[in-house]
Amino acid sequence: GSKTWKCPECGDHYSSKASLRRHLRIHDLYRPYFCPVCDKTFVQKITLKVHMRLHSGDKPHVCSVCNRSFAQKSNMETHLRRHLGQRPYKCSLCNKGFSDKGSLGEHNKTHTGEQPYVCPICKKAFSQRANMRTHMRRHKDDRPYACSKCNKMFKNKDGYWKHI
């Protein structure tokens, strides 16, 4: 089937992200439940209750494999799928599987050529945040001398002094 976008508030499905965003505005009109800690508002009482766990530290959902606990059941289920090697979210182009929708979305950028993650040091662009972070470690390890004006990194003091 074709990809649809589901409204997290009412469960309606939309054919595009833009259509879902337009629809979401109706839920913003009446949000009677608010968090007394951060003032975030919610349409449903249960959504507020789950949100409050972020502030209380309550994590009632426990992984049966490693005993790690989670505030939200969906996060625990995603975590458990990784233990079990379950990858139900498949790329429509290469059929690679992922344990959660977010990872599939990150992967899709490798096919579209989108590279939203840019190294602040050398400006190299990456399609996935994890790849940029791995890349940035190289700057730290290999080039400990940084120019405070342009963030260019150097392997040794000589290169740094020649630059400035």
For the stretch 53-80, pLDDT in tens is 989 999 999 999 999 999 889 999 999 9
Q: Establish whether domains 5-54 and 117-163 are of one fold.
A: yes
If residue 35 lies in a helix (H) or strand (E), which one and from where to where? none
Residue 1 pLDDT: 57
Residue 30 pLDDT: 67
Amino acid at 70: F
Q: Which CATH number fits domain 61-112: 3.90.79.10, 3.40.50.620, 3.30.160.60, 1.20.1070.10?
A: 3.30.160.60
Q: Are 151 and 164 in contact (CB under 8 A)?
A: no
Q: How many CB atoms are located within 10 Å of the residue 100 CB?
A: 18
Rounded to the nearest 5°, which phi and psi values hold at 97?
-100, 150
Q: Which CATH class is domain 117-163?
A: alpha beta
Q: Which has the closest alpha carbon to 75: 45, 106, 105, 54? A: 54
pTM: 0.51
Residue 56 pLDDT: 92
User: Distance between CA 8 and CA 74 in Å, rounded?
Assistant: 13
Domain parsing of the chain, residue ranges: 5-54, 61-112, 117-163
Q: For each successive 10 residues of the chain (164 residues), what is the average pLDDT?
A: 80 86 72 87 87 91 95 92 94 94 89 89 88 82 70 74 79
Residue 76 pLDDT: 94
Domain topology for 5-54:
Double Stranded RNA Binding Domain (3.30.160)
Residue 54 pLDDT: 87
